[in-house]
Amino acid sequence: MTTNKKSEIDPRGPRFGATITSVLLLVVIWLSLDSASLPAALILFEVLAFLFALGAVLGTSRTPYAFIFRKLIRPRLKPPSYLEDSKPPQFAQGVGLFVTLIGLTLYFGGVTSGILFAAVAAFIAAFLNAAFNLCLGCQLYLVLRRLSSRN
Amino acid sequence: MVIGIVLTAAVLAGAVWLILRGRVRQSGSAEQIDLSTLGLPTGSFRGLGESATLFLFSTDFCATCPGVERAYLELLATRPWAKLIKIDLTNRNDLAVRFHVLQTPTTFVLNSRSNLVARIGGAPKLLALTKLLDDLAVGASHSYAI
């Protein structure tokens, strides 16, 4: 998940991705509320898990979101006032992948509301990133590592 | 209905975070920080500020740390009696546990005797930090005229 090569990215790129992610997660939440549309929620949620995996493995600058950002959004913006390291958002995509995988595991284990709960958790994180520029996964790296080192 | 509750919860969480983030919390105990545990040389270590030192704890996965560091360097540019020391916790879980650091960036403010006078979780409220630093300079009677 991590590479030694330090690469710098426009910080507005991951934020743009987080905006799309949070909208799609809201759609998942809405679809998962009705058992008739639950299969649709599952498909969209799986797509989101795949997108999180792309971001976590390849980095946030090689996702479809980043492609759209570069082609359509960035040409209309001023140059960024600063660049940021690509590692934190990539790590956060991994956290997003982890949360969506928990939801999918619960769903296929028979707990169909797992999708709703995981989508709510992921939505809050993506929304905080998009609206408040708070990278929850990054912020909590030390907490997450302490929890994982106990097991 | 559920969408509304989720959206409200997210906005509230963000608002609470904005309010709590970066508050300069003065430490009552003024614990003396043992510099050797941080791998810093003790004695007349030149990296410490004359009146105040900021310890900035970060990791490779901290998105806001470089910005906070830039803000500190700008703040300290006119305050030569204060210094900044960065401590990378990426591979130092022991230090994170020892100093109860649960988020990055976390900043410790030390006075001239290496006592912890305040800690800041998250990107700091710069006005409060500036005031504290200037108070420390006056307290140590190294007031600095611009």
Number of structural domains in chain A: 1
Quick one: which of B128, B25, B116, B21 has its CA closest to B75?
A: B128
In a domain, A132, yes or no: yes
Is residue A32 in a domain? yes
- Rg from Cα positions in chain A: 16
CB A106 within 8 A of CB A49: no
Taking the CA of residue B143 and the nearest CA in chain A, the distance in Å comes to 34
Tokens of B91: 């591979």
CA-based nearest residue to B51, from B78, B73, B83 = B83
A4 found inside a domain: no
Domains and CATH numbers, chain B: 23-139 (3.40.30.10)
Whether residue B104 and residue A142 make contact (CB cut-off 8 A), yes or no, is yes
**Angle in degrees, 0-180, between the axes of helices A87-108 and A12-32, rounded to the nearest 10:** 10
Q: Which residues of chain B have a CB within 8 Å of the CB of A11?
A: 63
pLDDT of A55-87, one tens digit each? 999 988 889 999 999 999 999 999 888 888 888
CB contact under 8 A, B97 and A146: yes
Q: What is d(CA A17, CA A12) in angstroms, rounded to the nearest whole number?
A: 9
- Cα distance between residue B35 and residue B43, in whole Å: 9
The minimum CA-CA distance between A76 and chain B, rounded to whole Å, is 24
Whether B125 contacts B23, CB under 8 Å: yes
Name the closest residue on chain B to residue A137, using Cα atoms. B61
A1 assigned to some structural domain: no
Mark the ranges of chain A whose per-residue pLDDT is less than 50.
1-4, 151
Whether A22 is covered by a domain: the verdict is yes
DSSP A4-22: SS--EE-THHHHHHHHHHH
Q: Is A132 on the interface with B (CB under 8 A)?
A: yes
> Does residue A62 sit within a domain?
yes
Q: List, in sequence order, the alpha helices (H) in A1-151.
A: 12-32, 38-58, 64-68, 87-108, 114-132, 136-139, 141-150
pLDDT digits (tens, 9 = 90+) for B94-146: 888 888 898 999 999 999 888 899 999 999 999 999 999 999 987 765 444 44
Helices (H), B35-141: 65-77, 93-98, 126-139
Is A120–B93 a contact, with Cβ atoms under 8 angstroms apart?
no
Domain hosting residue A77, numbered range: 9-150
Distance from C-alpha of A74 to C-alpha of A64, rounded to nearest angstrom = 14
Query: Percent of chain B scored above 70 by pLDDT?
Result: 89
